[in-house]
Amino acid sequence: MPIAKDVRLGRDVRILHPDLVNLYGCSVGDETRLGTFVEVQVGASIGARCKISSHTFICEGVSIEDEVFIGHGVMFTNDKYPRATTDGRPQGPADWTVEPTRVGKGASIGSNATILCGISIGDGATVGAGAVVTRDVPASAVVAGVPARIMPMSEEGRVDAQTMLRTGSESGVVLLRFGKDALS
């Protein structure tokens, strides 16, 4: 039973392969699309008109607002100090704290990004593919790299490749939204 009975699905949610997702105790907003091999854990919420691409893991404590794009293989975390055991015994719910993470309206997160817990990604922000986000991302910012850093922008609203090269912030990642000439 890949979609548990306690999942709250909005109107016109599209899950192309319902047998190839794992949803339990979560909520998914109207007109959202979920790819194959997506897991959404208890207590996680996804807003309306989002696209969650295949192989993505959305854990407890993650809140994704409306109109967010999540690329393939994006991983969220919810524990700052993960351990398998406490004092030699397997950890239980009382042994750790869920750290909430928020993804603001209209944000885009590129494929294979890792989002550490306890942060907020602002409305309309863009996270480059492969980035590791370790701190808050301001609204409308473009971040990339490991760890993710704000990319300098030109007056035309493009990533400023010259400043990136001068400051050593060249990351070799693909940035969303700007297309193949983003670094020109």
User: Nearest to residue 118, comparing CAs of 179, 77, 85?
Assistant: 77
CA atoms of 107 and 137, how far apart (whole Å)? 10
pLDDT band at 34 (very low <50, low <70, confident <90, very high): very high
Q: What is the pLDDT of residues 126-156, one digit of tens each?
A: 999 999 999 999 999 999 999 999 988 767 7
CA atoms of 167 and 91, how far apart (whole Å)? 43
Q: What is the pLDDT of residues 61-97, one digit of tens each?
A: 999 999 999 999 999 999 998 999 988 999 988 888 9
Identify residue 134 by its one-letter amino acid code: T
Helix, strand, coil share of the chain (percent; to 5): 5, 30, 65
Domain boundaries 8-167, corresponding CATH code? 2.160.10.10
Which residue ranges make up each domain of the chain? 8-167
pLDDT band at 178 (very low <50, low <70, confident <90, very high): very low
Please give the pLDDT value at position 163.
55
Burial class (CB in 10 A: 0-12, 13-18, 19+), 88: exposed
What's the chain's length in residues? 184
